[in-house]
Amino acid sequence: MSASALPVQPTPPSPTPQQTAEARAAFTASLLSAGTSTVQCDLQHRAADLHANSAAIDKQEQALLKETKNLGKESDKWQKVVDDGARGVKETGDVQNWAEMLERDLCVLEDTMAMVDEEHGNATKPADGGLANGRR
């Protein structure tokens, strides 16, 4: 086969500047449309998520406020228990102090009675040898 045996194909006509501009505008518009719809879809999903999360946060906020009030009530109850306990400890301390004062007074009376007995010649020693609770 010779080079002249191959059929020669005609070259397509070169586009006019107007056709090139129209093709470029159509291509750009299709790219923008595709990009916009993807971005717009993403934004719509994000907005829907924000609204759903906002409702969930509002619900959690209400639950938190309710639980905070309940915690405050519980705290007040525990404070009452602590106050009652402190009052009981104070009363116990007061009773102990009263008992110690009473014991001192009884020791003074015992010593006074022993001195009176000695002056009148009725010197009788108590069973503990005159030592009342280790005192004399």
Whole-prediction pTM value?
0.39
pLDDT in tens, the chain (136 residues): 455 566 677 777 788 888 889 988 888 888 777 666 676 778 888 888 898 899 899 999 999 999 999 999 999 999 999 999 988 888 888 888 889 999 999 999 999 999 998 888 765 555 555 555 555 4
Tokens of residue 121, six digits:
């010649």
Which one-letter DSSP state was computed for residue 134? T
